[in-house]
Amino acid sequence: MNARTSLAALGIVLVVAVVIAFMSLFTVSQTRQAIVINFGDPVRVIRDPGLKFKLPWQSVVEYDNRVLDMEPPAEEVIASDQKRLVVDTYARFRIVDPLQFYQSVGNETVARTRMTSTISGSLRRVLGGTKLEQVLSDQRSQIMRQIRDEVRDQVKNFGIDVLDVRVRRADLPDENSQAVFERMKSERQREAAEFRAEGAQRAQEIRSGAERERTVIIAEAQKNAQILRGRGDADSIKIYADAFGRDKEFFSFYRSLQAYRETLANHDTTMVLSPDSEFFRYFGSASGNPPKP
């Protein structure tokens, strides 16, 4: 009986030990960080992963230690030039102080809600002092940094570090988009008409200049041609005159041969001349004198 009682007591002790061990041991993952809570009061922050120990009545609250994303709902804001914008943003943050995070907001749901309102306020405040053209220009990055810095300063008391705040989309409301599109279309059409008119004017100027230069070049060429032709004719006349002065008979004979070649070159040439015509005087003899009877 004593042996059975001892075994039963030993079994009870083992069961209690297992239960206490089960309630006292817990594991922290590499992607998590934990706080040990003793009756509502945090007593220890655990950042290193591995198997950890706590008292059985203590509880553990875990938070993610990775970079977290949040996407606040799109909202409508008014820029400094009174242009209405529908802005869609997203943010990236990390829980850097789990104890402060637990004491200020308690969990991620509350933290995201408060961050959403904080981002909305900063967005309205910064874009309210910015023109639409600045939001759509290369100044956008600077505007985003200003919003991020404001949000970071406001939520650092939550144990949160805001890494980035970005505007994914900034569009005009649907009721204004069509009007703006039509205005932009009209402006582009006006600019296109101006460019076409300037191009046509420039083309006409170039065409007129080219025509004027063409006329001048042709006139110069014709003048030079006339001068060269006159000089050539003068040289030709001089050569003929010199040749005629040297040997009149040979020159007359040569010119007659040229006349025969030019006149009789065509096979269907018909000429009606007297046989004793001066034109055929070299047909009878090379000297051009009529043959003796």
HEC string of the chain? CHHHHHHHHHHHHHHHHHHHHHHHEEEECCCEEEEEEECCEEEEEECCCEEEECCCCCEEEEEECCCEEECCCCEEEECCCCCEEEEEEEEEEEECCHHHHHHHCCCHHHHHHHHHHHHHHHHHHHHCCCCHHHHCCCCHHHHHHHHHHHHHHHHHHHCEEEEEEEEEEEECCHHHHHHHHHHHHHHHHHHHHHHHHHHHHHHHHHHHHHHHHHHHHHHHHHHHHHHHHHHHHHHHHHHHHHHHHHCHHHHHHHHHHHHHHHHHCCCCCCCCCCCCCHHHHHHHCCCCCCCCC
Residue 82 has pLDDT above 60, yes or no: yes
Average pLDDT, the chain: 79
Half-sphere exposure of 166 (CA within 13 A, CB side): 9
Residue 242 has pLDDT above 50, yes or no: yes
- What count of other Cβ atoms lies within 10 Å of the Cβ of residue 120? 17
pTM assigned to the model: 0.53
Better-scored residue on pLDDT, 23 or 119 = 119
pLDDT in tens, 112-165: 999 989 988 888 888 888 777 777 777 778 888 888 899 999 988 999 999 988
- What count of other Cβ atoms lies within 10 Å of the Cβ of residue 97? 18
Mean pLDDT of 202-224: 89
Distance CA 106, CA 110 (A): 7
How many residues comprise the chain? 293
Q: 293: pLDDT confidence band, cut at 50, 70 and 90?
A: very low
Better-scored residue on pLDDT, 245 or 165 = 165
Considering Cα of 6, then 8, then 11, then 16, what sign does the dihedral take?
negative
Mean pLDDT of 252-256: 70
pLDDT of residue 132: 73
What is the CA angle 33-36-37, rounded to 5?
135
Mean pLDDT of 30-54: 86
pLDDT of residue 161: 92
Residue 48 has pLDDT above 80, yes or no: yes
Kind of pairing between the strands at 50-53 and 25-28: antiparallel
Distance CA 145, CA 134 (A): 14
- Indicate the residue type of 12: I
Residue 267 has pLDDT above 80, yes or no: no
Contacts of 29 (CB under 8 A, 6+ apart): 49
Mean pLDDT of 160-178: 76
Helix axes 140-155, 108-127, angle to 10 degrees: 140
Q: Report the DSSP beta bridge partners of residue 58.
A: none
Q: 93: pLDDT confidence band, cut at 50, 70 and 90?
A: very high
Q: Do 151 and 91 meet the contact criterion of CB atoms below 8 Å apart?
A: yes
Q: 75: pLDDT confidence band, cut at 50, 70 and 90?
A: confident
Percent of the chain's residues with pLDDT above 90: 6
pLDDT of residue 283: 60
pLDDT of residue 231: 85
Better-scored residue on pLDDT, 49 or 85 = 49
